[in-house]
A and B are shown apart, each in its own frame.
Chain A
């Protein structure tokens, strides 16, 4: 198994740094991103519409003490521990999940523009949520009775799963998935879900309408420890499982046939990737609504800097996605204080021009 046993030719091994290997750079980048995430989390918890938090409050939260003699300090502690902390953690989870599911979907579809937001998975999840918001007082009341506050989340999750499975069924013929068909079908599904959503607006009452439009813009403002316990485990599981897909996604860069030649069980890996994306998208849309462009911008930026090796790209996306969404959410809550901007507006404002820029600078993507 050594080089000299190669019979093509026998020549001495040249030991030097391998030109064009970006793995060492990628490893450094991961360490930097992790450090950066820690800093951003600390900063985002500390800063708010009332300025910087009291360092004493932070220290007390970490030590678990609650001073009863100082009402001001107690208020700070409650703001930090019960409002900002869950919000920052939620933003981190959602950002990581959006970026990782974007990267997985792009690797799967062999197209840097594929994203759950674009192929209709988010729209399906959104339709599920909207159905619950609008019809929750009527026909769907028993579901609310069953799931209580989580009914909207559950509906979004099911909507995302249903649209992904439908997408997969349409795109798969004779055991192999045609990526181009799937991509186009996704666009049609997204339009269909959008139209159904439009119909719902007609039957919605005022309160539902307001919920609907706020939810549609996307926000992590409603984050509570309770919601984290609902969506968190699903997202965490997806983040932990995604590295298992890395090597298959790398091979898929060459196309499905060549990936098979390299030893990838293509059909099984595709199925695993699809379920991963559905779970992550469903869970994040359920708690935060439609937050666009994180799933495209973050993987693209990382591919430019550390290359397309998914072994580093996927963890990198989790870290940078979390950083970006925490940062966006922090800006969203202080820029027009005491009011708040829905975070979806911010990510679209920054992300859409970036998306157009990608289209301008890199033409001629193959559909696979």
Chain B
């Protein structure tokens, strides 16, 4: 009941099969990452699971078939951060965040709380369009957070579906946001995140699903999935894990920052 279960899910768009026969299970209490090269169908999978496009096969969230569940019910336990977000009319950051209250009771105090969590304390009065790209992304994340603020509601886990949540963020904020997602899962919620940064994936994901050309090449616990041979096949280029560069090129890993920040 507190799982996201995909069984042979396919999505067709424009007459083409974009996601082909995808099966995996994501559990509440864990961070599940979807990785894969550009155009491999990660966002399309997210769209299918968000009720945006229809899929063939079965996909159940908390025991409910996603295709057949009314939007308003889903919104009670599933919030979605799209890869790209635009806003039409000039709105303040607070106003954008408060859109997250659509399907729930309005608790104005949550706005400031959510902004603080994403490192935007004091940004409430700014106009969204005047923010930097990373600040806009974190504002959207705050909006997603207030929608399902409690990781567990009425005994059921709530789910964050995040399509590249840290793509525009600096390394410090990447860690801050991934810590947030991790804490959400630790508290009983479910997190499904599309990731491009493999180091962050290794640090935060419990499970990894690797896509290539719309098909699942590997799915399983992070340590078993993030291996040289699998990653090389997924991305189509030779990749090695835990190997330092042979020359003196500097390399920077986020691990240290996390342990000092936590």
Q: Which residues of A does B touch, CB under 8 Å?
A: 1, 3, 5-9, 11, 13-16, 18-22, 110-112, 247, 250-251, 253-255, 257-258, 260-266, 303, 307-309, 365-366, 368
**Taking beta carbons and an 8 Å cutoff, which residues of B are in contact with A?**
47, 50-52, 70-76, 78-80, 82, 85-95, 98-100, 102-103, 105, 107-113, 116-117, 122, 124-126, 145, 147, 149-153, 180, 183-184, 186-189
Query: Beyond A18-B108, A20-B126, is A263–B89 a contact (Cβ under 8 Å)?
Result: no
Whether B89 contacts A303 by the Cβ 8 Å rule is: yes
Question: A14: which B residues are within 8 A, CB to CB?
Answer: 109, 112-113
The CA-CA distance from A320 to B126 in the complex, in Å, is 27
Contact A263 B94 (CB under 8 A): no
Instruction: Let me know if B91 and A366 touch, CB within 8 A.
Output: no
A6 engages B88 (CB within 8 Å) = no
CB of A308 within 8 A of CB of B90, answer: yes
Seed contacts A6-B150, A254-B87; 11 additional CB < 8 Å A-B pairs: A3-B107, A6-B113, A8-B117, A11-B116, A16-B112, A18-B94, A258-B82, A260-B52, A263-B75, A263-B76, A264-B72
Give CA–CA (A247, B180) in the complex, Å: 29
Once the chains are docked, how many angstroms separate the CA of A3 from the CA of B75? 19
Which chain B residues lie closer than 8 Å to A247 at the CB level? 102
A9-B91 in contact given A258-B85, A261-B75 (Cβ < 8 Å): no
Q: Are A20 and B99 in contact (CB under 8 A)?
A: no
Query: Would you call the interface of chain A mostly helix, strand, loop, or mixed?
Result: loop
Q: Are A262 and B147 in contact (CB under 8 A)?
A: yes
Residue of B nearest to A300 (CB): B89
The distance in angstroms between the C-alpha atoms of A7 and B186, with both chains bound, is 8
Q: Which 3 A-B pairs have the closest CB atoms?
A: A7-B187, A263-B75, A20-B92
Closest B residue to A110 by CB, please name it.
B88
Interchain CB contact under 8 A, B87 and A261: no
Contact A8 B180 (CB under 8 A): yes
Instruction: Flag if B95 contacts A22 (CB, 8 Å).
Output: yes
Residue ID in chain B nearest A263 by CB atoms: B75
**When A21-B94, A262-B103 are in contact, do A308 and B86 touch as well, CB less than 8 Å?**
no
Assembled-state Cα–Cα distance A110/B86 (Å): 10
Chain B residues, Cβ within 8 Å of A11: 113, 116
The interface residues of chain B lying within 8 Å CB-to-CB of A21 are 92, 94-95, 98, 108, 111, 124
* A7 and B188 within 8 A (CB): yes
Please determine whether A266 and B99 come into contact, CB atoms closer than 8 angstroms.
no
